[in-house]
Chain A
Amino acid sequence: MTSLLNVGVSGLNAAMASMNTAGHNISNASTPGFTRQQVVQSAGAAISGGSGFLGQGAQVSTVQRVYSEFLTSQTSSARSRQSELDAYSTQISHIDGLLADTEAGLSPALQGFFSSVQGLASSPGSGSSSVPTRQAMLSGAQTLVSRFKSLDQMMNSERVSVNFQIQTSVSAISSYAKEVATLNGRIAQAEAMGMGQPANDLYDQRDQLLGQLSQEIGVTTTSNSDGSTNVFVGNGIPLVLGVEAYQVKAVQSLLEPDHLAVSLQGENSPAYVLPDRQLTGGKLGGLVSYMSETLDTAQNRLGQVAVSMAETFNTQHQLGQDLYGNQGQALFSLGAIPTTPNAANAQSTPAGLIDADFDSSNVSKLTSSDYKVTYDGSDFQVVRVSDQSLVGTMNAGVTSLSVDGLTFHYNSTLGSAGAGDSFLVQPTRTAASTLSMAITDPGMIAAGAMTRTSADVANTGRGQISAGTLNSADNLGSLFPAAPGKTTVTFGGGSLTFGNLPATAAIQITHADGSVNQYAAGTTVVPYVSGEKVTLAADFAATPAGDYSFEITGTVAAGDKFYLSRNTGATSDNANALAMGQLQTSNILNNGKTTFQGAYAQMVGVVGNTARDVSVNLSAQTTLVTQLETNHQSISGVNLDEMAANLIRYQQAYQAAGKLIQVSNTLFNQILNM
């Protein structure tokens, strides 16, 4: 009878435990990270009697989580990747939407500027209605400059915002790591006290933390026998070891001043700065790769368009003559190229040891890449970062290097470098922000040509002289002394005789078959056939030669005279304005393959393609995460209908066990009443 009572009580307890657990499950049905629990119930040890084993009721062996370690870690790493793509996608959508906007992008300002150049070409003079066209071109240029600046500003705010988010993410990682370490300690403690029974809810909490951690950065874990877990980032770099959490900090990158890096420090180990490639997965991974893959590239490409435009326009503008009869000055100005010494350089290495400027005669070779200049102990090696190729070296003997539309300088007078010291040169990174107007006076726009040609009115032949092209302003002074100097070219029936030719000018004749004859400076009579190209230069070997060329065509009579001179008083000349207008459709960038607009369109295409890739990957990853979560939830999630059924089942079991006790009581009374 006592045994029947005991059996009843054990059933009552078991049903109670199950109902408690069902209640716990119901209460936590919407607790994040909660894993459904169930009571593991077994039959109690039987008592052996003469007639066999008599069961002694039920017992609760343990309460366990219904849990798949495999699915949990799979879901967690899939969510880590999703979170990485999501961060990337959110950030890139900011610039993706803006760049292609037909109103807000670079395109309308670029078109507006070139329209104003064409307007100038149609009315270049100083008359009352021409001042507006000159003013309009200045405003057009100013609008373009402002648009470059505002796009750059927008990218800089992106950079600030991404760096801020990186800091937030790093401090989240740091605090999650600490909490995981704390829970590791509590789990070990709880399990020791609970005689080896699993601390289910603490495990859930830790899994939830690890899930949140992996949404910030990709992690891997290993388990220890005391129930604690170790957490690693990147390629096995420890973040949590048992109860020790490493210190995680966002620090300024050694090499790139506008980037943040992540450093890790353990109790007994020195701080270690993680290379970017170790920061994969999670929001942090997404932000870091967005910054280096997309934002840097887009800002550099925008800068490349700004530099190419400024340099090309300046070169053309300097070939022209302004309203005051002066040679055109630079139209735009650009700031110095930022060069950053590596923070780990030797103390004695001067900051300005390496610098660079733009090589305006090779502007089409300019790339959008950064350059790293590293001293190997004997040479400075200049490496183009985009493809990691060595583009040249500098040393004590060779202190400058012209490559990719840039000239690098080794300022050896400032000091020396230690082996391994490096400098980061970013030619195009800040160009769009430092671009500005160099002139503000509409009269200083050089719409006309610097030189003119004319035919003598007494000529008897019908020969014509072309307008003449100045190809570089470098030797203007030596070829065309200031007015009223005038060079006379007289046709002698098979030769040209130059009168008043500046002593430094050498002559070159290009024949119809393309062959060339050059004559030393001082030669004033050269063989000539009508239609051949005549080129004058101070030095044909120099680059650029600083030359000037013209042609005489048609039937020229012997004795006919032509004149070359400064274009004095030619205030309504539009030759240079026309030449500037043609830059719109000239292929200038990327080795003469792309127009300004084309280069911008390419950049928009690259950003758009990346955004699209990321977005497609994100939606695929989201599908995968949903699938894995469904699988995970189908095992570990709480179904309220199921719990309702369980409640009914265990309620019935409880009632039945209660009946057992009542029966045992009835039996006992029966004996008493006997």
Chain B
Amino acid sequence: MRMSTSMIFDRTVSAMQSQTTSLLHTQQQISTGRRLVAASDDPTAASNILQMTQAKEVNNQYTSAQGGAKTALSMLDSQLQSVGDLIQYVQQRTVLASNGTLNAKDLSAIAKDIQGQFEQLTGLANSTDGMGQYMFAGNMGDTKPFTGDLSTGMTYQGDQGVRSVQVSSSRQMPVSVPGDAIFVGHAGEPGLFDTLSSLVTTLENPTGATFRADINSALSNLSKSLDTVLTERAYAGSRLNELESLSTATESMGLQYSQILSGLQDTDYTKAIADLSKQQMALQASQKSFLQVSSLSLFNYMQ
């Protein structure tokens, strides 16, 4: 076949250009660490990467939501523990008051003590979380949930809202408990505040006819309140356990997403470096052979 001289040049140049292009593509894969330089390199993978990135990001959101839920529940648990301790202390003092050996002065001292506990309980019921929001006001975080005092009794100002956190795709976990579920009596029974304030009244009047009966009823109401607190604590504890297992699952999902993403988008360095050497060698060979071929001309021999 006839070859035209310009063809020899043109073809070699275009061959070297396409070699340079693939060399650069491989070099780009190596320097960015990404297998896909553009979506067209592998459109299906490019589309999958975007979907998988979202799955991974959502999973990360669950991880941080779980962290937040754990903080909220731990804080709730520790507040409830303080309330429980307080009830148990009041129970001890009430038992002491009920054994019949104490005189009016001693009982009055206990009454003062329980009055102090009432104040402390008010503090606990009106405590705020790390963000300055009242913990036991339901969804009314800006409203002080319990107002009043020992003589007027305490009124609940919050609502029955329970805040939930999206801790997995299918689970919204409640992380708060409204104050009226802990401190306010239900179905006609006295709440914890009521119990304490009537106990103080009882202890200040030890000669009353219903003294013993009132003490006994206070003990029974205290134990009901303690049950409520312990039930809420157990519920908080079970959710903390659930969070542990959720976080293990979320972590392993995250790992899996990372692996899938890595497989889809990361450069296989072994292959890329092997490709690079191969392409480099081919380009060098083209360049050398071009120099040799292009120097061949009959005109060189015409004198």
- Whether A634 touches B142, Cβ cut-off 8 Å, given contacts A129-B130, A611-B40, is no
Partner of B4, one of A114, A567, A637: A637
Interface string of A549-579 (1 = CB under 8 A from B): 0000000000000000001011111110010
Question: In the complex, A645→B5 CA distance in Å?
Answer: 14
Contact across chains for A458 and B142 when beta carbons are under 8 A apart: no
A122 contacts across to B, CB distance below 8 A: 64-65, 68, 165
Name the residue on B nearest A32 (C-beta). B6
Contact across chains for A581 and B166 when beta carbons are under 8 A apart: yes
Interface string of B289-301 (1 = CB under 8 A from A): 0000000011100
Contact across chains for A118 and B61 when beta carbons are under 8 A apart: yes
**B187 beta carbon closer than 8 Å to chain A:** yes
Q: Which of A434-470 contact B (CB under 8 A)?
A: 448, 452-455, 457-460, 467
User: From DSSP, what is the main secondary structure of chain A's interface residues?
Assistant: helix
- Whether A608 touches B298, Cβ cut-off 8 Å, given contacts A578-B164, A637-B4, A637-B5, is no
Contact across chains for B53 and A111 when beta carbons are under 8 A apart: yes
Question: In the complex, A121→B60 CA distance in Å?
Answer: 15
A648 contacts across to B, CB distance below 8 A: 302
A125 contacts across to B, CB distance below 8 A: 131-133, 141-142
**B43 beta carbon closer than 8 Å to chain A:** yes
Measured CB to CB, the closest approach of chain B to A37, in angstroms, equals: 13
**Which segment, of B178-186, B209-217, B277-285, faces chain A?**
B178-186
Contact across chains for B43 and A609 when beta carbons are under 8 A apart: yes
A202 contacts across to B, CB distance below 8 A: none
Contact across chains for B139 and A645 when beta carbons are under 8 A apart: no
Contact across chains for B2 and A597 when beta carbons are under 8 A apart: no
Interface string of A623-653 (1 = CB under 8 A from B): 0001001100111111111101101100000
B258 contacts across to A, CB distance below 8 A: none
Partner of B160, one of A452, A608, A611: A452
B139 contacts across to A, CB distance below 8 A: 448, 452, 567, 570-573
Interface string of B27-65 (1 = CB under 8 A from A): 000000010111111111011111101100110110011
**B207 beta carbon closer than 8 Å to chain A:** no
Measured CB to CB, the closest approach of chain B to A78, in angstroms, equals: 15
Name the residue on A nearest B134 (C-beta). A572
B68 contacts across to A, CB distance below 8 A: 122-123
Question: In the complex, A396→B138 CA distance in Å?
Answer: 56
Question: In the complex, A36→B4 CA distance in Å?
Answer: 10
Contact across chains for A612 and B40 when beta carbons are under 8 A apart: yes
Question: In the complex, A467→B139 CA distance in Å?
Answer: 12
Contact across chains for B39 and A100 when beta carbons are under 8 A apart: yes
Contact across chains for A639 and B5 when beta carbons are under 8 A apart: yes
Question: In the complex, A605→B37 CA distance in Å?
Answer: 14
**B169 beta carbon closer than 8 Å to chain A:** yes
Contact across chains for B38 and A100 when beta carbons are under 8 A apart: yes
Partner of B40, one of A93, A128, A629: A93
Question: In the complex, A606→B64 CA distance in Å?
Answer: 34
- Whether A633 touches B298, Cβ cut-off 8 Å, given contacts A459-B187, A585-B58, A608-B39, is no
Partner of A634, one of B2, B53, B141: B2
B3 contacts across to A, CB distance below 8 A: 633-634, 637, 639
- Whether A640 touches B297, Cβ cut-off 8 Å, given contacts A452-B159, A570-B138, A633-B6, is yes
Q: Of A115, A127, A641, which is in contact with the most chain B CB atoms at under 10 Å from its CB? A: A127
**A601 beta carbon closer than 8 Å to chain B:** yes
**A266 beta carbon closer than 8 Å to chain B:** no
**B123 beta carbon closer than 8 Å to chain A:** no
- Whether A630 touches B130, Cβ cut-off 8 Å, given contacts A572-B140, A578-B166, is no
Interface string of A102-116 (1 = CB under 8 A from B): 100101001100110
Q: Sorted from nearest, which 8 A-B pairs have the closest CB atoms?
A: A637-B4, A572-B141, A608-B39, A608-B43, A127-B132, A611-B40, A605-B47, A570-B139
- Residue positions of A touching B, CB distance < 8 A: 29-30, 36, 92-93, 96-97, 99-100, 102, 105, 107, 110-111, 114-115, 118, 121-123, 125-130, 448, 452-455, 457-460, 467, 567, 569-575, 578, 581-582, 584-585, 595, 597-598, 600-602, 604-612, 615, 626, 629-630, 633-642, 644-645, 647-648
- Could you give 22 example pairs across A and B, Cβ below 8 Å? A30-B6, A97-B39, A100-B49, A100-B50, A105-B50, A107-B50, A111-B54, A121-B65, A125-B133, A125-B142, A126-B142, A127-B141, A128-B132, A578-B164, A605-B46, A607-B43, A608-B38, A612-B40, A629-B7, A634-B1, A634-B3, A637-B7
